């Protein structure tokens, strides 16, 4: 078992999603407006408003996404991305079909003209360097005949272009119906600019302890039924787990240190071929560092000279101070124990410099907007050189204001560079002059006013490193502990009690969704989620899972069905709201008919003031957002005093001390236009969400993934 576990630990298995075939595109001709959905072959992964989504096509889409996303995206991330796109496309396609929205060839070309990757591609340009739709059509026809892979990529783009063009048409039709009247503009102006000042007394709900408010189960149930929309829940699960992490023990760490210590000094070994003892040089004395580290180190010898910033940050200062031939270590750097030896040093081997580039027409990589001649550029560079050398001049500001180079926003800062990295004239100046020197250098890019900001040594360091890994004995012990704990809890021993007896930490994870993948504390563990949602998995059931760095013993603690939340599940959300209602009623009942002074005195609070309140931003300083209270103030006459008002944070009584109407405008078109633009900007998001909410979506992904 130990050997098997060791192999399991050291083998990385990359699970790739294998599609049934290469993407089979069914689009005839160069342009097509056929439906985007794949053929409904085999089982369906979803049913959206009666339309089935083929699992075969869905898998091909996932495969295509995986090729674009690369190795960083997990399989479930890809599945969920494809799902979101498929649901959106299907719902909108149903709308397109119902409304008869189609895209013609001219519309596709017009849409392509808005895509920079096509418009700026020289392959589609005419002799004048302008995008030519005929050139584009010829190119697509050529791909179809001679370059099938490129044509397949175009067909993918074509599908996306058709979909995007249809969406643009659909949402533009809706936006055309979005408008705002001048009266609405006037109202918006008044909501933002009418002002009211108040004097108020607030008795906060927090003045009554929660423990004094009794709430029954029936009251919670009634509240849920009265607010069903707010207390819907998806199918979900709760689990708890103990994580047995596969990590090195203290003994393992000490063993690695001992291995490094043994490699430090020379040792004598018997050579059977020579029938004599050989002296094997250690890290301290070896004359062939490359070969030594190849044989004995988990990190090979890097012969490149490095600046301080390229060394491990925690030890860089110490490493940079080493003399040639001296060593530092053993030290721990991440998952390695290391010993480092200074092999060589180059004094001032890296230079930090700044420059101001003055380019000219015809210079290498010159901006097309630069029209000055070479002579004009040289004259300007000499003027700037004199200014740069003047006392009190801030070089970075001069560079920001005058440089034609991409480093201008950074004040001309080019960072640290080793010898040979920059073009020859620039390199020669920076390495031949002291820190602080400013000079003029000419290159193919133009004229440079160069300032040498700093110089640092670079070093070549050899490092003997050994990774700190759990030993076979540690892995076996961990497996035994995890298995023992699993067996104890399967045989009806309480999970928490068993964990406590062994000093294990129990970690809960609540409301896991059926298509979740990542579990806090365990990262990607799709197998655990699938087990939790398996109909055969019973409440309280325990199972051990092998994970990347050890084991997790998991217990299923709760199941939640889709629909309305139960009283138990919703109580934590509902209780504060019912308590607030009861506290408000209690405060109002105890203080009805009182004056503002008595209301404040009897509740041990003081009156406060708030000025320049508006309906658009109903924030009362010290109390927060109180839209109903501020709205009530605007409905009152100046000088009037309100009754008791239930707000969001307490019960109020207020007096309107001043009301100020905003100055009337001759025209409110600006405000009406802003309202219309704001509403139009929300159309795409709001309309799709409304369509999705009203759709009937049967999600079958969990059957396949």
pLDDT per residue as tens digits for the range 274-285: 777 788 899 999
Question: Buried b / exposed e across 501-534, counting CB within 10 Å, b at 16+?
Answer: eeebeebebeebebbbbbbeebebbbebbebbbe
CA atoms of 314 and 294, how far apart (whole Å): 25
Average pLDDT, integer, range 439-459? 95
CA distances from 331 to 250, 298, 350, 464 (A): 15, 15, 27, 11
DSSP letter for 599, please: H
Find the mean pLDDT for residues 423-433: 94
Q: Are 646 and 155 in contact (CB under 8 A)?
A: no
Given this model, what pLDDT does residue 576 score? 95
The rounded distance, in Å, linking the Cα atoms of 584 and 244 is 50
pLDDT at 162 over 60: yes
Phi, psi of 644, rounded to the nearest 5 degrees: -80, 130
31 confidence band (pLDDT: 50, 70, 90):
very low
Q: What distance lies between CA 289 and its chain's CA centroid?
A: 43
78 in Cβ contact with 66 (< 8 Å): yes
Tokens of 159: 């599908």
Confidence band, pLDDT 50/70/90 cuts, at residue 42: low
- Rounded mean pLDDT of 88-98? 94
Give me the pLDDT at residue 477, please.
94
Token pair recorded at residue 521: 């504390």
The count of other CB atoms within 10 Å of the CB of residue 427 is 19
pLDDT band at 36 (very low <50, low <70, confident <90, very high): very low
pLDDT tens digits, one per residue of 540-567: 999 999 988 899 999 999 999 999 999 9
What tokens does 512 get? 């896991």
The token pair at 670 is: 């600006």
372: tokens are 């000055």
Say if CB 238 and CB 511 are below 8 A apart: yes
- ∠ CA 19-25-31 to the nearest 5 degrees? 155
Structure tokens given for 93: 């396609």
Read off the pLDDT of residues 627-681 as tens digits, 9 standing for 90 and up: 999 999 999 999 999 999 999 999 999 999 999 999 999 999 999 999 999 999 9
Work out the pLDDT band at 104, boundaries 50, 70, 90: confident
CA dist., res. 187 & res. 568, Å (int): 45
Does pLDDT of 35 surpass 70?
no
Q: How far apart are CA 111 and CA 133, in angstroms?
A: 12
DSSP string spanning 96-160?
HHHHT----HHHHHHHHTT-HHHHT-GGGB-TTS-B-HHHHHHHHHHHHHH-HHHHHHHHHHHHH
- pLDDT value of position 65: 83
Q: Judge whether residue 32 has pLDDT over 80.
A: no
Is pLDDT of 448 > 60? yes
Q: How far apart are CA 524 and CA 515, in angstroms?
A: 12
pLDDT band at 329 (very low <50, low <70, confident <90, very high): confident
CA–CA separation, 127 and 69 (whole Å)? 37
Q: What residues have CB less than 8 Å from 586, skipping those under 6 apart?
A: 208
Q: Is the pLDDT of residue 73 over 80?
A: no
CA 38, 41, 46, 47 torsion-angle sign: positive
Mean pLDDT of 71-79: 82
Q: What is the largest CA-CA distance in the chain?
A: 113
pLDDT attached to residue 492: 80
Alpha-carbon torsion (144, 150, 156, 160), positive or negative: negative
Per-residue pLDDT at 12: 31
- pLDDT band, very low/low/confident/very high, at 273 (cuts 50, 70, 90): confident
pTM above 0.75, yes or no: no
How many CB atoms within 10 Å of residue 253? 14
Average pLDDT, the chain: 89
> Taking the CA of residue 20 as centre, how many other CA atoms within 13 Å lie in the half-sphere pointing to its CB?
11
Smallest CA-to-CA distance from 636 within 203, 201, 196, 200 is with 196
Average pLDDT for 281-298: 94
Q: Is residue 358 very low, low, confident or very high in pLDDT (cuts 50, 70, 90)?
A: very high
152, pLDDT greater than 60: yes
Q: Band of the pLDDT at 38, cuts 50, 70, 90?
A: very low
The more confidently predicted of residues 59 and 9 is 59
Distance of CA 119 to the CA centre of its chain: 31
> Cβ-count burial of 662 within 10 angstroms (0-12 exposed, 13-18 middle, 19+ buried)?
middle
Asked if 539 and 563 touch (Cβ cutoff 8 Å), the reply is no
Q: How far is it, in rounded angstroms, from Cα 335 to Cα 204?
A: 54
What pLDDT band is residue 16 in, cutting at 50, 70 and 90?
very low
Which residues 6+ apart lie within 8 Å of 695 measured at CB? 48, 49, 91
Q: For residue 629, what is the enclosing H or E element?
A: helix 627-635
Alpha-carbon distance of 186 to 477, in angstroms, equals 76
Q: What is the pLDDT of residues 191-248, one digit of tens each?
A: 999 999 999 999 999 999 999 999 999 999 999 999 999 999 999 999 999 999 999 9
* DSSP for residue 637: P
Q: What is the mean pLDDT of residues 312-330?
A: 93
Here the tokens at position 215 are 């709430």
Task: Identify the burial level of 449 via C-beta atoms within 10 angstroms of its C-beta, where 0-12 means exposed, 13-18 middle and 19 or more buried.
Answer: buried
| Confidence (pLDDT) at 4 | 33
Q: How far is Cα 399 from Cα 153, in angstroms, rounded to an integer?
A: 45
């Amino acid at each position: 078992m130990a050997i098997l576990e060791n192999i399991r630990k050291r083998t990385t298995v990359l699970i790739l999603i294998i599609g049934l075939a290469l993407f089979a595109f069914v689009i005839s001709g160069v342009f097509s407006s056929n439906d985007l959905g794949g053929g409904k072959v085999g089982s369906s992964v979803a049913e959206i408003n009666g339309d089935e989504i083929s699992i075969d096509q869905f898998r091909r889409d996932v495969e295509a996404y995986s090729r674009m996303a690369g190795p960083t995206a997990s399989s479930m991330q890809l599945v969920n991305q494809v799902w979101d796109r498929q649901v959106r496309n299907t719902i909108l396609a149903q709308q397109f079909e119902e409304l008869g929205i189609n895209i013609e060839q001219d519309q596709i070309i017009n849409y392509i003209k808005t895509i920079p990757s096509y418009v700026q591609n020289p392959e589609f340009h005419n002799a004048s360097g302008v995008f030519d739709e005929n050139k584009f059509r010829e190119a697509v026809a050529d791909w179809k005949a001679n370059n099938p892979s490129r044509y397949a990529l175009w067909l993918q783009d074509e599908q996306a272009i058709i979909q995007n063009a249809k969406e643009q048409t659909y949402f533009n039709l809706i936006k055309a119906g979005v408008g705002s009247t001048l009266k609405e503009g006037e109202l918006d102006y008044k909501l933002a600019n009418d002002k009211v000042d108040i004097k108020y007394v607030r008795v906060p709900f927090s003045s009554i302890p929660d423990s004094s408010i009794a709430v029954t189960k029936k009251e919670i149930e009634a509240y849920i039924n009265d607010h069903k929309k707010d207390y819907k829940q998806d199918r979900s699960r709760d689990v708890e787990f103990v994580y047995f992490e596969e990590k090195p023990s203290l003994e393992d760490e000490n063993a690695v240190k001992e291995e490094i210590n043994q490699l430090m000094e020379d040792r004598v070994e018997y050579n059977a071929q020579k029938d004599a003892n050989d002296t094997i040089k250690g890290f301290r004395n070896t004359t062939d560092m490359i070969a030594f580290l190849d044989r004995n180190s988990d990190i090979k010898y890097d012969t490149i000279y490095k600046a301080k910033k390229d060394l491990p940050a925690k030890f860089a200062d110490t490493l940079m101070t080493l003399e040639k031939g001296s060593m530092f270590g053993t030290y721990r750097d991440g998952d390695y124990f290391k010993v480092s030896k200074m092999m060589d040093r180059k004094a001032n081997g890296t230079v930090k410099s700044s420059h101001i580039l003055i380019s000219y027409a015809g210079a290498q990589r010159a901006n097309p907007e630069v029209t000055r001649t070479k002579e004009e550029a040289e004259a300007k560079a000499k003027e700037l050189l004199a200014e740069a050398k003047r006392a009190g001049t801030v070089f970075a500001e001069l560079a920001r204001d005058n440089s034609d180079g991409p480093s201008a926003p950074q004040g001309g800062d080019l960072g640290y560079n080793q010898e040979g990295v920059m073009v020859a004239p620039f390199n020669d100046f920076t390495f031949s002059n002291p820190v602080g020197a400013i000079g003029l250098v000419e290159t193919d890019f133009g004229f440079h006013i160069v300032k040498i900001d700093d110089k640092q040594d670079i070093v070549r360091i050899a490092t003997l490193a050994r990774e700190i890994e759990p030993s076979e004995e540690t892995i076996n012990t961990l497996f035994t502990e995890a298995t023992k704990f699993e067996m104890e809890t399967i045989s009806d021993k309480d999970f928490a009690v068993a964990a406590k007896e062994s000093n294990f930490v129990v970690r809960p994870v609540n409301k896991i969704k059926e298509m979740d993948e990542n579990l806090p504390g365990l990262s990607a563990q799709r197998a655990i989620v699938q087990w939790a949602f398996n109909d055969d998995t019973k409440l309280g059931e325990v199972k051990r899972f092998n994970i990347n760095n050890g084991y997790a013993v998991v217990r299923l603690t709760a199941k939640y069905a889709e629909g309305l939340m139960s009283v138990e599940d919703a109580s934590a959300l509902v209780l504060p709201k019912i308590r607030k209602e009861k506290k408000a009623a209690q405060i109002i009942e105890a203080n009805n008919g009182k004056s503002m002074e008595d209301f404040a005195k009897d509740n041990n609070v003081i009156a406060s003031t708030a000025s320049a309140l508006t309906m658009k931003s109903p924030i009362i300083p010290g109390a927060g957002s109180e839209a109903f209270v501020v709205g009530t103030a605007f409905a009152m006459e100046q000088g009037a005093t309100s009754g008791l008002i239930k707000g969001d944070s307490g019960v109020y009584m207020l007096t309107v001390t001043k009301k100020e109407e905003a100055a009337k405008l001759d025209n409110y078109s600006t405000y009406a236009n802003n309202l219309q633009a704001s509403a139009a900007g929300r159309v795409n998001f709001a309309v799709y969400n409304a369509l999705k909410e009203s759709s009937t979506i049967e999600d079958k992904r969990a059957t396949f993934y």
